[in-house]
Amino acid sequence: MLLRCLLLILLCVGTPREAQGQGGACARSHDDWSRRCSERTGVPLQVLHCPPGRVVVRAGSGTTAVLVEVSSASEHSFQSAGTLGASPVGEFPDWNQEPRERQEAFAAVVSCLDDLSLLRESRAPLRPPQAPRRPPWLLLAAVSMLGFLSLIPRRSRPRASLHNTWLGLGLEGALALLILALLTLIGRRLLIPARFFHQNGQGPLWVEAAAYGDLSFSYGPGYPELFGWLAGAFPGASERAIFEATALLGALVPPAGVLLALSSGTTAGGAWVVGGCLALHPLLGRLSRGESYLGVQIALLTVAAAALARAGRIRGRPWLLAGAVVGAGLLVAQAARVHPTSWLAGATVPLVLLAQPGSVTGRGKRTVLAGAGVGGMVLLTSGQALWGVYQGPLGQQWRPSSLVSLTFPWLGLVLCGGLAWRLRRHPGLLLALAAGGAALGVLQSADMLRLNFPWIADAYRLQFLPVLLASGAATLATIRKRRFWAPATLATVGVAAVVFRWPEYTTVPTDVREQAWAQGWRETIPPGSSITYLSRAGERIVMLPLDRERWHVQALTTGQETTVPRLPTGGYYYRSSLCSTPEGRPVCEALEQGGSLEAVVEQVLPGIASLPWLPLPRDPIRVGLYRVR
């Protein structure tokens, strides 16, 4: 019955039409360029695809090949030639330590950038002046579906009321969840400053992608879809609007955690302890007070898991679970469209149904059908968009680990399911542990951000929290006298996790401090003024939150110009933290010697790196805004 309901709903949803790819036409239109460049340099070149304003090229062969993204020269470009810039795609802590063949392959592409006539199609503006504005239909469809289901009576009664909905909490419980969300939102607003989160100073890049509706964003169209319409509604305050929206999404995580814990069999006291720990978690709070795509994905996946878990406790109405599967699938699809880092965590969401009270057979059937349903929704609504990202630079970068890891949870389920069948005395406990073990296995085999600092690495890992939380709650539910031990254990684990990571979670790197400071002094600069600063020095990046439609921003990159440009008289020069690095110091010194500077505001910041492989000087770093005389 559940399978028939699920298939019926999936067929009714249909498949939205997505833009067709340009891979074949792109390669054909640049065949002459790639052939000539290969003949001239001796390096094999293959044009992969052409998002608007970009060309992605594979240079070299074998294990030393490199993906190169060619676009209009900007502060993001690793190297530039004329009006075009090129950047290697991937994680390269020190480019100079890469194999010589890879460096030569990248240099070959750069040497061919002067052939502009053959790349004229790739020079379209990266940020169109008028971005498409459309609401996030996946999110709205999911909210509509789950909202409708939440008001359906759990059983037949003459009169339906909020006390009888499938949420199973009654009016008092629903109000308590709402109060928890509001307290979370208000408390974080009072205690945690609004700041960018993205490492290596690239937070403003995401705000720009949303503000200009860049649906060809390399990471996926999800972030511009979620926040593009909001940025368009507040053109002068798009950054603040996005910050407020992420705060609202983040405030949903604690109530969703309460529902998830209750649905996994823990006591009411234990569930509210979970909600309190999630509300007070410093890293979750920090994610919700910025632009971070990781915070958005955590919220979407946690709500999806809570909806599945709550509906899974209802017996005798399979169409309710089928509707919840569709709603959860829409949320997982929306998260998957934001960034590939959510794909593996989203694949584990249906495992929450395995960590629930009930028969072993029933749990297994619901989990398998929910997994198929969620996967079907993702393919129906976002298959083409995700395939485009998967074929692009990021998908190429993460392809091996992703393919291996996607098969791990279901293989682990089969093995653990067989073990549970053999050990019939505690099948429920074993299935709950199997769900958590499968999620941990996926995370361990594809811990994509493990090389980053803990506040970045753990933000990625928190996407697997729904399954781990359900597994832990279900395990505690098997303990006798759980009315005391479940809340005490959950509180102890939550407090220990926060205390252990407190120094790292509260560390604010230099680039984030610099961006927060720029949000203040930028309001003192007259519109139309020129602002020049060093934005990229080698692999180090500091993007300032400066609206290019309000000011004329000249963001410089080391090696981008053969000669250091002269500062325009009457404009402004900002000495960024990159001027204190070995790569950026010579450029800044040349800039400052070429003009008369009058200090407008100066600041001294601690030297705290945001990437372990790009350390900053330990001495205090002087930054400042100056008027050019």
Instruction: Please tell me the distance from the alpha carbon of residue 407 to that of residue 435, in angstroms, as a whole number.
Output: 14
Calculate what percentage of the chain has a pLDDT beyond 70.
78
Per-residue pLDDT at 20? 40
Considering all CA atoms of the chain, what is the largest pairwise distance in Å, rounded to the nearest integer? 83
Q: Please, are residues 462 and 295 in contact by the beta-carbon 8 Å criterion?
A: no
What is the Cα–Cα distance from 468 to 274, expressed in whole angstroms? Answer: 12
**In this model, does residue 412 exceed pLDDT 60?**
no
Please write the tens of the pLDDT for every residue from 358-398.
Answer: 888 888 889 999 999 999 999 999 998 888 777 765 665 65
Q: Which residues contact 303 (CB under 8 A, 6 or more apart)?
A: 252, 253, 256, 331
Torsion of CA 63, 69, 70, 75, to 10 degrees: -120
Q: Give φ, ψ of 69 to 5 degrees.
A: -100, 120
Question: Which tokens sit at 611?
Answer: 């990437």
Cβ(269)–Cβ(481) under 8 Å?
A: no
Closest CA to 623 of 595, 596, 590, 584: 584
Greater confidence (85 vs 349) lies with 349
Q: Which of 626, 603, 534, 530 is nearest to 571 (CA)?
A: 530
Let me know how many helices (H) and strands (E) the chain has, helices first: 23, 11
Residue located via tokens 């030569």: 104
For the stretch 319-352, pLDDT in tens is 788 889 999 999 999 999 999 899 999 999 999 9
pLDDT of residue 404: 46
Q: Is 272 exposed, middle or buried (0-12, 13-18, 19+ CB in 10 A)?
A: buried
The pLDDT assigned to 1 comes to 53
Residue 130: band (very low, low, confident or very high) from pLDDT cuts 50, 70, 90: very low
Confidence of residue 70 (pLDDT cuts 50, 70, 90): confident
DSSP letter, residue 541: E
Ordered DSSP codes for 103-171: HHHHHHHHHTTT-GGGGGGGGS-SS-SS------HHHHHHHHHHHHHHTSBSS--SS--GGGBTT-SHH
The residues near 156 (Cβ < 8 Å, ≥ 6 apart) are none
Could you tell me which residue, 423 or 262, shows the higher pLDDT?
Answer: 262
Lowest mean pLDDT among 39-43, 124-128, 226-230, 610-614: 124-128
Helix ranges restricted to H, 477-524: 482-505, 510-521
Between residues 50 and 451, the one the model is more confident about: 451
Alpha-carbon gap, residue 223 to 131, rounded angstroms: 14
Does the pLDDT value for residue 488 go beyond 90?
no
Return the higher-pLDDT residue of 2 and 557: 557
Reading across the β-sheet that carries 84-89, which strands appear in turn? 45-49, 54-59, 66-72, 84-89, 79-81
Q: How much is the pLDDT for 118?
A: 38
pLDDT at 75: 61
| Averaged pLDDT for residues 120-134 | 44
Which of 402, 344, 383, 566 is CA-nearest to residue 17? 383
Burial class (CB in 10 A: 0-12, 13-18, 19+), 519: middle
Residue 600: its H or E element: strand 597-605
Q: What is the pLDDT of residue 160?
A: 41
The residue-averaged pLDDT of 429-456 equals 86
pLDDT value, residue 400: 44
Q: Tens digit of pLDDT for each residue in 456-472?
A: 999 999 999 999 999 98
Find the range with the poorest average confidence among 291-305, 529-543, 559-573: 559-573
Q: Between 28 and 615, name the one with better pLDDT.
A: 615
DSSP assignment letter at 607: -
Alpha carbon 564 to its chain centroid, in Å, reads: 36
The predicted model gives 200-227 an average pLDDT of 82
Work out the pLDDT band at 219, boundaries 50, 70, 90: confident
- pLDDT for 229 equals 86
**Are the C-beta atoms of 272 and 177 separated by less than 8 Å?**
no
pTM score of the predicted model: 0.82
Q: How confident is the model at residue 23 (pLDDT cuts 50, 70, 90)?
A: very low
